[in-house]
A and B are shown apart, each in its own frame.
Chain A
Amino acid sequence: MRRKSGEQGSAAVAFTLATFLLIFTIVTVYLFVAKILWFPPAISQFGTQIDEQFHRTLIITGIVFVLAQLGLALAIFRSRERGQKVSFFEGNPAMEFLWTLATIIMFVGLGLYGEHAWAEARFQGAAPGALQLEVTGQQFAWNFRYAGPDGKFGATKPELVSASSGNPLGLDPRDATSKDDVVSPVAYVPAGQEVELLIRTQDVTHSFYVRELRLKQDAVPGMTIHMHFNATVPGQYELACAELCGLGHYRMRSFVNVVSPEEFDKWMRDQETALQQQ
């Protein structure tokens, strides 16, 4: 039987489109399974928790992705114009209801499950006795401050800020608690010990982002924001600014060095206090 040319064209297009969707689905799934580009290993128990939730989400979205793309490919190929009669139907409330219920359970369930990690990170404060570490962003550098033996951060004043003369935070020398504060452009933290971050900025919004800690927090003008982490794997980890802060945003980085408690104590002893540096 001779076919009309339109139907042949339709078969070719349907086949190509369905095949493309199939290949696209396979390649995408492969890339997410092969993990050629992936996050670096987590260095905290919290980071591992986030990775687990990521994988749960990946599995559920992966299933929906494959079903939807292949369903589309199948519908395109199967229902191409080939002289058939259309099967007339305007809906199927039972299937609609089932599908809706399934997605509610899947998506909302997933969301609820993921709240554990968030609650741990943000609803609870840092453990008692955590090392206090203040992080201050400014265009386009990071500065870290340790409270020193007195455990208190000294007062700072905007008018005293002078990065060029060695007082980037504007530490007030007349405040007694400032005397032992240590300021450093890179951070050292002891492995296996809880660290409480006090995140600040002097000028515009920046964002503290360390990939291996699975931690990101904006530094917001006018606010001091608390975060906490406990890194267990020693190493040097890069800190990159993650919120657009001006022309030097791309080079606003520093390092967080996770070292053994002994090395940390030694590093701390070797530091001059900020006011000595001036």
Chain B
Amino acid sequence: MVTHESGGHHHPPSGFIRKYIFSLDHKVIGIQYYVLALFSVFVGMALSLLMRIHLVWPSAKMPFTPGGQMTPEQYLALLTMHGSIMVFMVLTTAPQSGFGNFILPIQIGAEDMAFPVLNMLSFWVTFLSLVVLISAFFVTGGAPISGWTAYPTLSALGQIAGPGQGAGQTLWVIGVAIFCIGALLGALNFITTTVDLRTKGMTLGRMPLTVWSWLITAILGLLAFGVLLAACLLLLLDRVAGTSFFIPGGLVVTDTPIVSHTGGSPLLWQHLFWFFGHPEVYIAILPGMGVTSHVLSTFSRKPVFGYKAMVGALSAIGFLGFCVWGHHMFISGMSPYSAFAFSLLTMTIGVPSAIKTFNWLGTLWGGKIRFTTAMMFGLGFVSLFVTGGLSGLFLAQPSIDLYLHDTYFVVAHFHLIMGVASIFGIFAATYFWFPKMFGRMLNETIGKIHFWFTFIGVYTIFMPMHFLGLAGHPRRYADTTGVNFLAPLHSVHYFITIAAMITITAQLLFLFNFFYSMKAGQKAADNPWNATTLEWSIPSPPPFDNFAGHIPVVYRGPYEFSVPGATDDYIPQHVTPERVGKAH
């Protein structure tokens, strides 16, 4: 374990493999996670593009489909893998394991994470899980068709339940279980690092909101992924060892009685899965909230409005996140009385969410806004968070959920809040920290074009889905011709597909900007944004052990912008009281 006492000056490893592949450096590991997420997000987007094309042009010839046209099971395989890859490999890894790994130790004044070897292991375990997950595409029967939620008995009965439910589903369960192990190791490391390795003066009340959000996310991860791991192991046993945790007796699949199972409960999986699954939403978005607060304050040149309330709201959302999993199960056959409690607790989450929104507006108000690309994605985050969050108030009510559950209204809701808002957090973080990570600036002009395509694009894709849902369109339909009442909705699907094609294509701008700027971008100064937290007190990119042996001491809060009486409009956290007002 790295401690301050053992500190001093470390020597960086010299070999290529120790330096870039099996690195113990939190910064390299952070970038590894980021690249894994970047690869995954483009895979995930490609899958969604194929799905959108199939919904509008069902007879379109696709290169990988043997008969030329996509079959319903291929559509469902894309759907399952899209969800799984996006949730696990993108939304869980990039904001937390990617940026958290790179930035958190520096922001608290540490030389590395508490357990560097564990850190390396968690990345490689995550990598392994991605390989296992993607390999499901290439086995007999193809990838699973049970969605990222993998409800038994569809996911438990094996090949008989459908193509992809054989080897593909088994690989999926193993892949997700492996992911849980990586996530648990990571969570432990984040919590220990934040608790133990803060530098002198970095009290809890002086931690940047990003650090708070990573800490709370890690706590959520520690509590949630253990449950999913257990659930996956039970499902695996049902599939390969003949147990019946989730499979009741007396089932008949296509006239074939299932005689080998008895006594299980499919609802048990749903409880375990959503006990993980709901906190997972916050695992995806809390870091985005932290980054948004951070970026909004920096580019408004104003302190965060209500810092303590922001920390309180983050904690409240994290805590309540564990009390509401039942709102995914209002129509599952669970006791209707528990729905009553789950509903009210869910409505309560609206309160800390509203506090955050209010405080973001308060942070902007009276400030002096600089419209960097990072700032624009931060502002986009606020708008998306409001839009995506408010539709949750419909779904949180069991009576309204009787109509809207499992319709496109839900698809619109969770994509806006958990998918797109979180991705905007990731983009804000990328445009903000890229200079620190790679020592060069991202191109701001390309960045702004990318922002506009993405911001307008995601709204044109996902807003119409609310209306598909209101018209009663069930989700996860491979085809819109099987049910009569879907016929009039075809033009909406058409509109969404066109919007998706444009928006996804525009992401190539980002990819280009990312790799081009890494090589040829304008050289970044140590503190190009005139920001206050510790990562901006060191060179861009940072040296191997972050502070070159001179661990900083913190004298003030993280958001001292435009402090009356000070000469500059920002006072970094490491500036001593005597030096305020003098050049730094």
Contact = CB atoms under 8 A, between A and B. Distances in A.
A72 interface: yes
A6 B371 CA distance: 9
B400 to A, nearest CB: 5
B254 A80 contact: no
B471 A38 contact: yes
Nearest to A239: B483
Contacts of A13: 371, 376, 448
B468 A37 contact: yes
Given A79-B368, A111-B347, A123-B337, A65 B387 contact: yes
Contacts of B478: 247, 249-250
A159 B258 CA distance: 9
A31 to B, nearest CB: 7
B476 A122 contact: no
A211 B365 CA distance: 45
Given A36-B467, A118-B339, A163-B255, A14 B397 contact: no
Contacts of A72: 361, 364, 379, 382-383, 386
A222 B265 contact: yes
Best-buried of A103, A161, A246 by chain B (most CB within 10 Å): A246
Interface string B399-436: 11011011100000000000000000000000000000
A207 B331 contact: yes
Interface string B354-373: 11011101101111111100
A57 B393 contact: yes
A88 B333 contact: no
Interface string B373-405: 000100100110011001101101111101101
A13 B455 CA distance: 14
A238 B483 contact: yes
A158 B467 contact: no
Most buried by B among A10, A40, A203, A244: A244
A186 interface: no
B245 to A, nearest CB: 12
Contact of B379 (A76, A100, A222, A246): A76
Contact of B364 (A10, A65, A79, A122): A79
Interface stretch (B171-179, B196-204, B227-235, B561-569): B561-569
Contacts of B151: 204-205, 243-244
B364 A111 contact: no
Contact of A253 (B300, B307, B482, B562): B482
Nearest to A236: B484
Contact of B390 (A64, A71, A119): A64
Interface in B291-345: 300-309, 331-333, 336-337, 339-340, 343-344
A96 B358 contact: yes
Contact of B467 (A37, A71, A88): A37
B365 A103 contact: no
B170 interface: no
Size class of A's contact patch?
A: 35 or more
B259 to A, nearest CB: 8
A54 interface: yes
B405 A242 contact: yes
A111 B483 contact: no
Contact of B366 (A40, A79, A99): A79
B348 interface: yes
A211 to B, nearest CB: 4
A87 interface: yes
B257 A159 contact: yes
A158 B333 CA distance: 22
B518 interface: no
B205 interface: no
A217 interface: yes
B361 to A, nearest CB: 5
A158 B250 contact: yes
A115 B343 contact: yes
Interface stretch (A16-24, A126-134, A177-185): A16-24
Given A88-B564, A204-B157, A71 B361 contact: yes
A244 B483 contact: no
Contact of A86 (B255, B265, B468, B569): B569
Given A107-B347, A203-B161, A86 B399 contact: no
Contacts of B71: 247
4 closest A-B pairs by beta carbon, nearest first, are A222-B248, A251-B482, A122-B336, A111-B347
Given A64-B354, A90-B305, 5 more contacts: A10-B371, A20-B455, A54-B394, A203-B252, A249-B478
Interface of A: 6, 9-10, 13-14, 17, 20-21, 24, 28, 31, 36-40, 49-50, 53-54, 57-58, 60-61, 64-65, 68-69, 71-72, 75-76, 78-81, 84-93, 95-96, 99-100, 103-104, 107-108, 110-112, 114-119, 121-123, 138-139, 158-159, 161-164, 170, 202-205, 207, 209, 211, 214-218, 220-223, 225, 238, 240-253
29 contacts: A9-B371, A13-B448, A17-B379, A50-B400, A65-B386, A69-B383, A75-B361, A76-B379, A86-B300, A86-B562, A92-B305, A96-B359, A100-B354, A103-B350, A107-B354, A108-B348, A114-B343, A123-B337, A139-B253, A162-B255, A163-B254, A203-B253, A203-B254, A216-B403, A216-B405, A220-B332, A240-B472, A247-B72, A251-B483
